Amino acid sequence: MSTAMLNMWVSFAGMGLMILAVMMIYLSRYKIKNGFFKFISAMLAYACLIIGGMIMVYIVFSGPTGA
């Protein structure tokens, strides 16, 4: 697999983590009533958001791959 294709799949994983974070934050704020599960889901959501953001920063600053 070429470097460009690998970067594409890594960026998809980063975007997927960010989408997952949005859904989990929505659930933790509006749907979950139990305080413990609300806290756990919010912490997982923010962890996914941070990891996804770091992946996106890496992909953007790694530059073109030169096919």
Structure tokens at 11: 């960026």
Residue 67, pLDDT score? 59
Asked if residue 67 is part of any domain, the answer here is no
Specify the number of domains making up the chain.
1
Asked if residue 51 is part of any domain, the answer here is yes
Asked if residue 25 is part of any domain, the answer here is yes
Range of the domain at 52: 3-61
Region 1-21: what's the mean pLDDT? 94
Question: Which pLDDT tens digit goes with each residue over 14-61?
Answer: 999 999 999 999 999 999 999 999 999 999 999 999 999 999 999 999
* 63 Cβ neighbours under 8 A, 6+ residues apart: none
Asked if residue 66 is part of any domain, the answer here is no
Residue 1, pLDDT score? 82
Residue bearing tokens 């791959």: 65
Residues 34 and 41: their CA atoms lie apart, in Å, by: 11
* 1 Cβ neighbours under 8 A, 6+ residues apart: none
Supply the pTM of this predicted model: 0.85
CA distances to 33, 37, 48 from 55, rounded to whole Å, are 32, 27, 10
